[in-house]
Amino acid sequence: MSQARQFLKILLINIAVLLVLFSTIEVSVRIFYAVKSKTPPHPHLSVEREWNWIKARTQDGKVSFDSRFEYDATVGWKNAANINTVPKDQGRVRTNSLGLLACCRPER
């Protein structure tokens, strides 16, 4: 029984050391990319494009977001109320007084 207990103790110590090692590597990589303002590696190209878009929008320090959206602390970004616009190449956007899309009624 003592051999099994000693083996289990060694196994648990090795697992703990590996977890600490991987956590240290993860934190180091995150700090590196945050300090260098580089795009973190990701298998999907869309994530890299999103990071590049964010960098381009915030490069001059003047962040301008689309006025059709507003930030709510409880739900995040949502549609602004009472929108009736036709943005170029994006179709018509209409919302009611609550910011809900008014897309399901036919136009007259």
The 10s digit of each residue's pLDDT in 9-39 is 999 999 999 999 999 999 999 899 888 877 7
Predicted local confidence at residue 21, as pLDDT: 97
How far apart are alpha carbons 86 and 7 in whole angstroms? 69
Predicted local confidence at residue 89, as pLDDT: 61
Which residues does the chain have with pLDDT short of 70? 1, 60-66, 87-91, 102-108
Domain boundaries, the chain: 1-61, 65-108
Handedness of CA 57, 63, 67, 68 (dihedral sign): positive
Predicted local confidence at residue 12, as pLDDT: 96
The pTM for the full model equals: 0.43
Q: Which amino acid is at 79?
A: N
Average pLDDT, the chain: 80
77 to each of 41, 84, 99, how far by Cα in Å? 26, 18, 11
3-state DSSP helix/strand/coil % of the chain, to nearest 5: 45, 15, 40
